[in-house]
Amino acid sequence: MPKHQGILHTTEQDVQAAKVDYAYYDGFIACLESIRDSLARRMELLHLSNAERAIFRREVCRLNEQVENVIRYASTAEAGLNAKMAERERILQQLDGAEANRSEIGPEALCDDKGSKP
């Protein structure tokens, strides 16, 4: 396997891993927001005591902090994914350029003066 293709294969794996990380964080954010919203709805119930409301309020605040943290992690994962995608595109452009150079040179240029390939 040529060097660029090996690097491209590794980069493809890195891109897939970054996509999985980003999807994980995206799903985790949705889960935390759902739990937070459920707790917020429960706080609105009339039959809750003040102590129960205080507990729910603390939990909602804690979940808000977790959502903010996970959003930061997700943005870091997105930046990593974008970097890997840019690297992948750069490698593909290099491969396309190398292929274009090979086709411009032609197979005759690879032969020595006697017509035999090196």
Global pTM?
A: 0.58
Per-residue DSSP letters for 44-75? T-TT--HHHHHHHHHHHHHHHHHHHHHHHHHH
Instruction: Yes or no: say if 12 and 81 are a contact pair by the CB < 8 Å rule.
Output: no
53-96 tens-digit pLDDT: 888 889 888 888 988 888 888 888 888 888 888 888 888 888 88
In this prediction, residue 114 carries a pLDDT of: 54
Domains of the chain, CATH where assigned: 3-110 (1.20.58)
